[in-house]
Amino acid sequence: MMKKLFLAAVALGAVSLAFAQDKAYVRTESRDSLRLGVYTDVGARGSVLAYSRLAALSPDCEAKFIDGAAVRAGALSGVDVLLMSGGSSVDISASLGDEGRAALERFIHEGGGYLGSCAGALLMMETAKYKGLGIIPYTRVELPPRGGGTINTIWADCAHDFAGIEPGIHTTTYHRGPVMTPCEGHPRLGDFTVMARFGCNILTMRLDPNCPSMGGYASCIAGKYGKGKVWVFSDHPEVNPHTMDLVVGGIRYLTGRTIRFVRDQKKPGQFVVGCPTSFSPGAEGAAFAMELVKDPGFHVRGGGFASSSVDAVVICDSPDASRLKKLATPAGARDLKQFLKRGGHVVAWGRGAKCVSGMVKDGDGLHFVKGPAEAMETLRALRKRPLPPVPAPTFGAALPRKKDAVRTGFLLGPGSSGSCLFRLLRTIASSPNYDVRFLLGSDVASGALADVDLFVVPGGWSQTQMKSLGPVGCSNLVNWVRGGGAYYGTCAGAYLVGQSNTERTYIGLTPYRPQVCPYRGNSKDVQCALTDDGRKALGLSEKKFTTLYWGGPVFEPAPETALPDSDIRTFATYASQNVYSFNTNTVPAMGGHAAIVGGTIGKGKILTIATHPEYLGGSRHVVRAGLKYLTGKSAEGNLNSHVRGGLALGLYCADFSTREVGDMAVKLMGLPGVDLEDVSHHPIQDGTLDHLDAVVLPVPDTKSCSFLKPFVLRGGKVYACCRTKEQRDAVKAFPAGSVVVCDGEDAVAKAIIKRD
């Protein structure tokens, strides 16, 4: 069944709806504005900001923020549709109480509309664990929670008829939502319709082969209850702008009205405010966030102290005290201190202020206020402060380093992921102790490792990397490590030096063999547990860390293959399952298997990491610890510190195959007043560039220009490095005035500094 669904979806093709382009407008509310209620009490989190943004940016809507007490007091009579966020269905049910649940049931039965995602879908069910409403004639398939990641949902033809949603594949975000199946014998089964089904699978956190694959089960269902209607998602289409059309379609089904959602593209010079989404903001905090969204002087993002390009973070008086406490971890305190050190501001009140003061007692940038009114005054005053002076740029100042810096070579070209390479490069380039150069596989085969102390191989495709190195390059790499070189490999770079298995051939430096199993996809929820050897070698005290996983090896020891002059040990193991697999649960367990291995080979050292700690702020310290283990020198640094009024800039890294692209990345990292991040075709297609001012195209072509055109039409800018006529012709696809054409890295850097 799953195979038939997938083939049908492929035949339909990936479909994405066009959004209204972001233009300056004055929002006016008329008497016939659609009244959206957003539930904000304990348990509702994550999506509250997204739903608030929808109401704030649509000229057809007005919002009312509602907690459990308001529901019990009759507030639902003042809304047309109630939007219920993801979070904890148990806590949401408890915050409503018996009286609130009864009021919500009456609201729907008497003609109201209900749209819920994830926990909001579970609330419509009845389970033994908590008191749901029992309105939906569906139940969850199994209890073990699944992980999180991107997922394909396959929309039926009826979705177009009911909601104006194009059938086919829509890629959305999933995080532990219910896998829904019909309840046998439910009296209202005929009144509900499956709008979409899962097209792939997210594994359970603890491997359970008896749990069925998600593929083919309902991800969105809708139907009538009394005079009202219900529309629920298992996933989270509301969290990404490119899938907000699915929410808009749900509202159309519930009300018969099509509302406009206007994209909120960042404008240069806006004051950027981060609002953490890991706890409920409460009605007061949600209303405050909505006012920020509507103020053209602010750009509001989800995220907290670890977010890049954020000027200030707001921690409101959340009713969710237990979730607030989870901010005050050692990692959270570390992120807060670093955020304040680089000039960030924190505005907090009530329980939020108490939480922040528990992490940092005092310091520049802390603003403890009495409530939302004073918080707004504080943020507007911060916005009016004169912009800090930007140091004069010195092109190429970032590199080369001092003579005794670690000479670090990066493998670029075929097989090396530009996004992964960029993030590793940024980690290393921010330290004065490391000197960076770029090597192709042919360079390694020609003996270039003789001039390198540390060789970094990023994620990507190990078999392509191996082909790029060739037999001579692979042999040179083995001899170089045994002669005293230091090797750092992540994901594909870890596969590359492992032992061969029945499917693939690898170099065989480490006595570990990757499992043979169906391809595992992406998840940022994978936990790794450090062994005693790992904590000692890396100098880390924590027992576990959470990291991004994307198809990396799950290593099994193969001690019989160990080189005679080696001592390679397990530094960390997987502590969870929790990753995407295309359509099956029948994969080997990850838990307990090696995720990080390291040690000595002859006179050299090696460290391989199967996951991607370089991607997440909370795990990047593992990369720095690994580099120090290999070289003895600290990789700490802050080359690209955020400054207020700085340029939020993306570097298109999908074609990171030449030294010119590497040189441009290093040059841009050294520019003051620029917050630089990587951009690939995935976030461009997913529409997650709304927080950027501009994007640099180092190698323009018709494909990349086509991907970026919607970003440009929303007001974004492009700096294009055009060295050939074909590249200059490609950028003609952009509207006049939206692209700055440059003839080299220096010209791009100068144009960015001048803000041409």
The residue-averaged pLDDT of 149-164 equals: 92
Q: Which residues contact 256 (CB under 8 A, 6 or more apart)?
A: none
Inside any domain, residue 308: yes
pLDDT at site 267: 85
Can you tell me the distance from the alpha carbon of 750 to that of 756, in angstroms, rounded to the nearest whole number? Answer: 9
Confidence of residue 644 (pLDDT cuts 50, 70, 90): confident
Confirm whether 392 is domain-assigned.
no
Amino acid at 363: G
Same domain assignment for residues 424 and 516: yes
Report pLDDT for 681: 64
- Please report whether residue 57 resides in a domain: yes
- Are the C-beta atoms of residues 323 and 45 closer than 8 Å to each other? yes
Q: Which helix (H) or strand (E) holds 545?
A: strand 544-550
- In the predicted model, is pLDDT for residue 78 greater than 90? yes
Q: Stretch 344-352: mean pLDDT, rounded?
A: 94
DSSP-assigned letters across all residues of 575-628? -----EESS-S-S---TTSEEEEEEEETTEEEEEESSBGGGSTTTHHHHHHHHH
Task: List 175's β-bridge partners, or say none.
Answer: 148
- Give the C-alpha separation, 707 to 686, whole Å: 10
* Region class of 141: left (phi > 0), else alpha (psi between -120 and 50), else beta: alpha
pLDDT score of 189: 63
Cβ distance 611 to 552 under 8 Å? yes
pLDDT reported for residue 657: 80
CATH number at residue 348: 3.40.50.880
C-beta neighbour count of 78 within 10 angstroms: 11
Mean pLDDT, range 160-174, rounded to an integer: 93
702 and 733 assigned to the same domain? yes
Alpha-carbon span 523 to 537, nearest angstrom: 27
Structure-block tokens of residue 337: 């201190």
Position 365 in a domain? yes
pLDDT at residue 448 in the model = 96
Same domain, 704 and 742: yes
pTM for this one?
Answer: 0.86
The residue among 13 and 214 whose pLDDT is bigger is 214
**For the segment 122-132, what is each residue's pLDDT rounded down to a tens digit?**
999 876 666 78
The token pair at 506 is 């690898």
Looking at the predicted structure, is the pLDDT value of residue 202 above 70? yes
Quick one: tokens of 225?
């209850």
Please report, for the domain that includes residue 688, its CATH number: 3.40.50.2300
Stretch 676-685: mean pLDDT, rounded? 71
Helix (H) or strand (E) holding 725: helix 725-730
Confidence at 19, pLDDT banded by 50, 70, 90: very low
Residues 604 and 471 in one domain: yes
pLDDT at res. 143: 66
pLDDT in tens, 693-706: 999 999 899 988 98
Domain-located, residue 587 = yes
Arithmetic mean of pLDDT, 553-566: 94
Q: What is the mean pLDDT of residues 75-83?
A: 96
Q: Is residue 642 part of a domain?
A: no
What is the residue range of 247's domain? 2-255
Q: Do 374 and 482 belong to one domain?
A: no
Same domain assignment for residues 433 and 504? yes
First to last CA, the chain: 55
Higher pLDDT, 337 or 585: 337
Does residue 365 sit in the same domain as residue 417? no
Average pLDDT estimate for 648-654: 89
Judge whether residue 177 has pLDDT over 60. yes
Q: Residue 400 has what pLDDT?
A: 57
545 bridge partner residues: 528
- pLDDT-derived band at 29 (thresholds 50, 70, 90) equals very low
Do residue 380 and residue 414 come from a single domain?
A: no
pLDDT for residue 459: 94
Whether residue 299 is found in the same domain as residue 198: no
Question: 100: pLDDT confidence band, cut at 50, 70 and 90?
Answer: very high
Q: DSSP label at 645?
A: T
Q: Say how many domains are in the chain.
A: 4
Give the Cα separation of 114 and 120 in Å (integer).
9
Q: Is the peptide bond before 400 cis (omega within 30 degrees of 0)?
A: yes
pLDDT at residue 683 in the model: 55
- Do 282 and 236 share a structural domain? no
**745 or 538: which carries more pLDDT confidence?**
538
Where is the domain boundary, 584, 606, 631? Answer: 631
Instruction: Give the distance, in angstroms, between the CA of residue 434 and the centroid of all CA atoms in the same chain.
Output: 28
741 part of a folded domain: yes
103-112, 386-395, 656-665, 722-731: which has the minimum mean pLDDT?
386-395
Mean pLDDT of 205-210: 75
pLDDT digits 0-9 by tens, 526-547: 999 999 999 999 999 999 999 9
Q: What's the confidence (pLDDT) of residue 28?
A: 37
Q: How confident is the model at residue 57 (pLDDT cuts 50, 70, 90)?
A: confident
User: Is the same domain home to 52 and 87?
Assistant: yes
For residue 592, what pLDDT band results from cuts at 50, 70 and 90?
very high
Residue 26: the pLDDT is: 31
Domain for residue 462, yes or no? yes
- For 484-535, write each residue's pLDDT tens digit: 999 999 999 999 999 999 989 999 999 999 999 888 888 878 999 999 999 9
Residues 197 and 278 in one domain: no
**Domain termination residue (choose one: 199, 228, 255):** 255
**Average pLDDT of every residue of the chain:** 87
